[in-house]
Amino acid sequence: MAPQGPRASLEFGGPLGAAALMLLLPATMFHLLLVVRSGPACLLDLPPYLPRPEALWSPRALLLWLAWLGLQVAFYLLPARKMAEGQELKDKSRLRYPINGFQALVLTALLVGLGVLAGLPLGALTEMLLPLAFVATLTVFIFSLLLYLKALIAPASALAPGGNSGNPIYDFFLGRELNPRICSFDFKYFCELRPGLIGWVLINLALLVQEAELRGSPSLAMWLVNGFQLLYEAVLTTMDITHDGFGFMLAFGDLAWVPFTYSLQAQFLLYHPQPLELPTASVICLMNAVGFYVFRAANSQKNTFRKNPSDPSVADLETIPTATGRQLLVSGWWGLVRHPNYLGDLIMALAWSLPCGVSHLLPYFYLLYFTALLVHREARDEQQCLQKYGLAWHEYCRRVPYRIVPYIY
């Protein structure tokens, strides 16, 4: 694949934008981690102190982080009962992925459970979040460099459509190779679904345990945040797997951003306890259930349709034919807005923040950031669909004018 060349349209503001994001994203993460521990916990406050080097760097944190990655690699390599095929690649081949992420989650839970019974102080993990985030960031920079070097010797057919501009900063950020692998070990699939996501669950749990140790029992708000976020899971066929290369952007997102900032609500509740009455909690639970239902129903309707358009559950839906032979759904969830799954995701994001009360903006950071991410992601997907489907996509946009929120956006 020839480089896209300087005139190809680059995303994220090109090399300058990519360089800025590589500084801004870690800086934002550390800002949030410092502010959530401070007295007023105001999103726009400067951290009350600059961290001492020893608060950031700890060999124990490095060992723990490497052990965690090693453990998840070992679980990934265990024989899987099921293998799934990914989307068709440029050379018409399909990669195979082991479906054993849930097995890894259960094994991790068992191991941690046994550890706690044997006296492992899980709550103490909350004291190590800052140095853990630091070593995670450090390893992501090194890992992204190795991925970039590996991509330099990868065959042209293995390169990602977006991360092959020829500009090293931009390609390092976006990821030059689509699915970097060593033998059958797929780095992107491993990082997307394992250390970060399971790490997020574990950090939330550690915060719950620490709250119980400090205050006698976990608060209702902490239970809700833990329960909601545990329920949430990502799916295999996201744009990241099928389109984006694997570089700093996804590696940082998966390994550092997700575990350390997605657990911000639970961190906030540990340092700023919030009273929550049962009636309010019930309304929030209902909101989360609605969001989850919309998210799952929309995703599974599209997945079922893509796998088998004559499946009885989707056979009656209206469709638009496209020149590629694939069809676009224009009724059901995908006739309501062009991204009903994002709508469900945003309703859930609001439900995750509400247990933290309305006196602070900090727990709503996830909602604000996620809205920006999904609006930007929707625009990127729109461009890709326009390229894939041309006139048929225009027709879809005419018949389904709203993008994410009916009658609003």
Binding residues for ligand NDP (CB under 6 A): 234-235, 238-239, 295, 299, 302, 306, 326, 328-329, 334, 339, 341-342, 345, 377, 381, 384-385, 396
Closest CB to ligand NDP among residues 61, 202: 202
- Measured from the CB of residue 322, what is the shortest distance to ligand NDP in angstroms? 8
Closest CB to ligand NDP among residues 265, 299: 299
Residue bearing tokens 């993990």: 125
- Measured from the CB of residue 306, what is the shortest distance to ligand NDP in angstroms? 5
Contact 221, 274 (CB under 8 A): yes
Closest CB to ligand NDP among residues 89, 154: 89
Contact 18, 387 (CB under 8 A): no
SS (H, E, C) 108-131: HHHHHHHHHHCCCCHHHHHHHHHH
- Measured from the CB of residue 261, what is the shortest distance to ligand NDP in angstroms? 10
Please report the beta strands in 198-257, taking only residues with DSSP state E, as ranges in sequence order. none
Contact 80, 311 (CB under 8 A): no
Closest CB to ligand NDP among residues 55, 379: 379
- Measured from the CB of residue 373, what is the shortest distance to ligand NDP in angstroms? 6
- Measured from the CB of residue 129, what is the shortest distance to ligand NDP in angstroms? 19
Beta-strand pair 181-182/96-98: unpaired
Closest CB to ligand NDP among residues 170, 295: 295
The alpha carbons of the chain give a radius of gyration, in whole angstroms, of 22
Closest CB to ligand NDP among residues 189, 396: 396
What single DSSP character describes residue 8? Answer: S
How many residues are recorded in the chain? Answer: 409
Closest CB to ligand NDP among residues 260, 334: 334
Q: What are the tokens at 319?
A: 């469709």
What region does 332 belong to: left with phi over 0, alpha with psi -120 to 50, or beta?
Answer: left
- Measured from the CB of residue 383, what is the shortest distance to ligand NDP in angstroms? 10
- Measured from the CB of residue 158, what is the shortest distance to ligand NDP in angstroms? 20
Q: What are the tokens at 55?
A: 């608060």
CB within 8 Å of 49: residues ≥ 6 apart: 34
d(CA 84, CA 19): 36
Q: First and final CA of the chain: distance in angstroms?
A: 37
Closest CB to ligand NDP among residues 181, 377: 377
CB within 8 Å of 278: residues ≥ 6 apart: 220
- Measured from the CB of residue 25, what is the shortest distance to ligand NDP in angstroms? 13
- CA torsion sign, 121 to 122 to 126 to 132? positive
